[in-house]
Structure 1
Amino acid sequence: MTRWLGVALLPRADHLRTAVRLQGEVGGDVRLRPPLHPDGNLPHVTVFQGPFKDSLVPAEALELIGTAAAENGLRGEVRLSSTGVVYQPTGWLFLALERPPLLESLQEAALAALDRHLDRASFDGSKDVSRFTADERAGYERYGYRYTGRAYAPHMTLGRAEEETALELARTAQDRVNLPKEWVFDRLSFYVMGEHGAHAETLLERPLART
């Protein structure tokens, strides 16, 4: 049976609550989907997500990823600067974050642990990739997730709206919202994907403090 799962960085509790509030502030009168909630659909930075075969054991995979990350210096808390609210085709609003080498290494560790368990037969071959960049298309074809390798784009998803609405919200966000300059993340999670790839259910968590 195919399972749609992901690995993510989760914000520290206070920053998680701030991200939930930020969704409402950026959306204003528009209810962005899916709604973020500190006890449900969690704000997160996706490391990787996709369809997996039954051969995947999430606890084993998360331990491999976390151990590799620690060996590469990702321990305790990781602080990431925000680079703004951006629009992403089609209809998405992202809080874009910096991409330090530590995060690139984290995704590489995730791909090394997860690649052989991917259910490639479940990749959506009919997906419209006409607005993907060349690197995003390459990532999607190989891994079923557009933001891999050179196309990796660390972000927290703020939600989705009608195309023109999302463009306008992204254009005006800097004038309407006091955007935190730094975000702190303190744990990894393995999660069940929900609406639009949301962090719908936490299967496992692993503090970054472990070595």
Structure 2
Amino acid sequence: MAENMKKTSPAGGDSEIKPLGKHLGNVIKDIRQQHGLTIAEVAERANISRGMLSKIENGLVSTSLDTLEQLANSLGVTISRLFQGYNQPTGGAQLVKKGQGMEVVRRGTRNGHTYHLLAYDQGPKKLFEPFLITLEDPGEEFPSFEHSGTEFLYMLEGELGYRVGEEVYMLEPGDALTFRGEIPHRPEYHAKLPIRFLAIIHYDTEEPIDHD
């Protein structure tokens, strides 16, 4: 995977710990103990230090999705198992409050280009991913992206020229654009900054590949 969760660890340790980090740490620790494994054993399998694993289990640091995948492999579970049950009340709904979406970094991402993941899959299959995307760098250039499934864009703020295949579509607030993910696509040019839009990817398969 070419994506990371942005670090949010407090400098002095007195700031509020993110709920997702605490959840992941508790799940990793519980699974490790259920398997009768020590911190040293899991850390060695996952190729991280014992101190880092201890901090992860105690919710003191965030870590990359690559590291979470290594930890899941070392524990003999899927990465989705680590997120299972997060923020899911008895009603079966998942609430992500304003500003609390997990910030991730993807291939081609630079300064002024952020993704906030607005929901986290909790089952064995990744069915969809909703992102709030912000573009603020007028000079940023983007590679073309291709992925499985269908993508839906909804413009919230600004104006953006978005290329899908050979066509470039001008998107303004309130506009929606839907296309097949395997068609090469990318933001083509910024017409009016700042730009914010929703990007929702619905997957047809269990294993999506890198996308924008």
The verdict on a shared fold, with TM-score over 0.5 as the criterion, is no
Q: Which has the higher contact order (CA 8 A, sep 6+)?
A: 1
* Greater Cα radius of gyration, structure 1 or 2: 2
TM-score in terms of structure 1 length: 0.28
Q: Give the structure with the higher percent helix.
A: 1
